[in-house]
Chain A
């Protein structure tokens, strides 16, 4: 922490403490992998061993894919998260630009509403939004999963803050070249905002890929199930009977985000930091 070199004692204390914590953080992942790799007789034995005597991961994965259409559920997850993020950017970016760079009556009030909107937890609006979708006959569809999240006031806020730092000269130059305000949004502001858009994208995809509450409320049909609903459904159907395939299914559900995170962990953490800290 200071300029002085850490002593051997303090450095070994640091590693010892962090390693103990790391083991605790990793334990569920390791146990999940271990259980998913064991045949039933090893899972239901009272002696603890990490490495399976008989390696059954492929068998368990095959059973999991056979019992539930996991491929379909992963595809649903991709469809829903991509649709949500695309809509959020298309709608938030122009608004963020106007709030940051254009003068108009009501701008301050609108920005105050955005700041207020950030404070509203998603569960708070669930009942009326559900009733609205019910009225529209839109429950149990991709639309029900996507529509409520097309607006992200947090996205507007984040990109507005980013746009505030873009020099006005750049915009004036674009206007001199005869660009419309609409063109400026997509051809000048969007390219400069890529770091903020990426950070927001990470936040949005992580939140909606992992969301359980809203899909649980609006869906009935399995064909629209997103990954979290799928694994919960699998567990309810198999409770206490086949932990091997269940753990294999859990691995399949967490893999896309965890692998993406491991491949680009620096960017992920920067993204979360940028979007997490107001």
Chain B
């Protein structure tokens, strides 16, 4: 805040100089512009760009919160990280989670959006119901899911018992815990993806379907293959990348339901980062985990911009 005040005072001085020049109005407006962007820019440096540089710098230091001093240790954090079995489990689990949740929630989101669009009845009703999990606080719903998956009193095992199968401790078995979290992740993401696909579907001009029909695309499948799918390409790419990045961020359900267990079977990157950085206060080591996470996000973004290079221009 004080930085912003200083720069505003500097700008006043600049304005005074500008008034003496040939085009006072135009210049004056230019300097006002700096006043308008100064608070945003200052906060961006303080809360976003500075910390981003900070996390990268920290990953090369042995800093621990509360320690009197720290030293630059080069790649030692990364060496330790790559030698740690838990890190590789955490990375594998994060990728497994994404590999299940992304196709699951994207395909279901697209399917639901197309089914809703293909008729006229109850559109708003379905849209509302499928979107409800997006709105409901995930932590609260995670606790509901935990009870639904309860080995003795849960709904899921109750139904399984009704059809004569053996109940299963889904979240307590290391063979199934990660998949149970994936199911919750898909349940929560479908509605969000559905809304994005609905917007995409509505932007497809109707006459394309008529044209396809005249050209002999009689079946629903051929209309989908010839018109819907190619026209939805950019939206699908966007939805896949967004869902992918959100999957890399999975934390809430892990922290509340499993704490990474049993025996690290649900340990994921952000949970590892949280434990190292905010439970053990090993800031440097946690920063190295964060940099790996950032690398994954960056990789996905690069793939997206590569694939969409021709389509998007903002400026």
A119 touches B297 (CB 8 A): yes
Question: Which residues of chain B come closer than 8 Å to A3, judged between CB atoms?
Answer: 206, 209-210, 213
From A54-62, A78-86, A88-96, A191-199, give the one contacting chain B.
A88-96
* Residue A1 is within 8 A (CB to CB) of chain B in the complex: yes
From B74-82, B84-92, B97-105, B141-149, give the one contacting chain A.
B141-149
* Residue A221 is within 8 A (CB to CB) of chain B in the complex: no
* Residue A137 is within 8 A (CB to CB) of chain B in the complex: no
CB distance from B93 to the nearest CB of A (A): 16
Main secondary structure of the interface of B (DSSP, over half): helix
Question: Which residues of chain A come closer than 8 Å to B108, judged between CB atoms?
Answer: 21
Instruction: Select B36's contact among A25, A98, A235, beta carbons within 8 Å.
Output: A98
Interface string of A112-154 (1 = CB under 8 A from B): 0111010111011111111110100000000000011011010
CB distance from A258 to the nearest CB of B (A): 6
* Residue A265 is within 8 A (CB to CB) of chain B in the complex: yes
With known contacts A25-B190, A28-B141, A261-B131, A123–B251 Cβ distance under 8 A: yes
Instruction: Select B137's contact among A111, A124, A254, A268, beta carbons within 8 Å.
Output: A254
With known contacts A119-B301, A269-B195, A1–B118 Cβ distance under 8 A: yes
A31 touches B144 (CB 8 A): yes
Question: Which residues of chain A come closer than 8 Å to B228, judged between CB atoms?
Answer: 1
A124 touches B55 (CB 8 A): yes
Instruction: Select B49's contact among A94, A117, A269, A273, beta carbons within 8 Å.
Output: A117
B124 touches A266 (CB 8 A): yes
A130 touches B52 (CB 8 A): no
With known contacts A97-B36, A111-B315, A128-B50, A123–B270 Cβ distance under 8 A: yes
Interface string of B220-255 (1 = CB under 8 A from A): 100100001000000100100010010011011001
With known contacts A257-B136, A278-B238, A235–B287 Cβ distance under 8 A: no
A108 touches B315 (CB 8 A): yes
B287 touches A28 (CB 8 A): no
Main secondary structure of the interface of A (DSSP, over half): helix
With known contacts A29-B136, A91-B40, A181-B29, A124–B141 Cβ distance under 8 A: no
With known contacts A1-B209, A127-B286, A25–B129 Cβ distance under 8 A: yes
Question: Which residues of chain A come closer than 8 Å to B36, judged between CB atoms?
Answer: 94-95, 97-98, 102, 181-182, 185
* Residue B303 is within 8 A (CB to CB) of chain A in the complex: no
Instruction: Select B33's contact among A2, A98, A210, beta carbons within 8 Å.
Output: A98
Can you pick out 25 interface pairs between chain A and chain B where the beta carbons lie within 8 Å of each other? A1-B117, A1-B228, A2-B210, A6-B118, A31-B148, A48-B159, A95-B41, A110-B41, A111-B315, A115-B314, A119-B298, A125-B55, A127-B51, A127-B286, A151-B48, A181-B36, A209-B137, A212-B256, A227-B140, A228-B140, A235-B256, A249-B140, A254-B137, A273-B196, A276-B195
Contacts beyond the supplied A28-B145, A31-B155: 20 A-B pairs with Cβ under 8 Å: A1-B114, A2-B223, A18-B112, A27-B148, A121-B293, A124-B52, A124-B294, A150-B47, A151-B40, A156-B40, A161-B314, A181-B29, A185-B36, A212-B255, A216-B255, A227-B137, A232-B143, A258-B135, A265-B128, A273-B196
Give residues in A with beta carbon < 8 Å to B: 1-3, 6, 10-11, 14-15, 17-18, 21-22, 24-29, 31-32, 35, 43-46, 48, 91-92, 94-95, 97-99, 102-105, 107-108, 110-111, 113-115, 117, 119-121, 123-132, 134, 147-148, 150-151, 153, 156, 161, 180-182, 185, 206, 209-210, 212-213, 216-217, 227-229, 231-232, 235, 243, 246-247, 249-250, 253-254, 257-258, 261-262, 265-266, 268-269, 272-273, 276-278
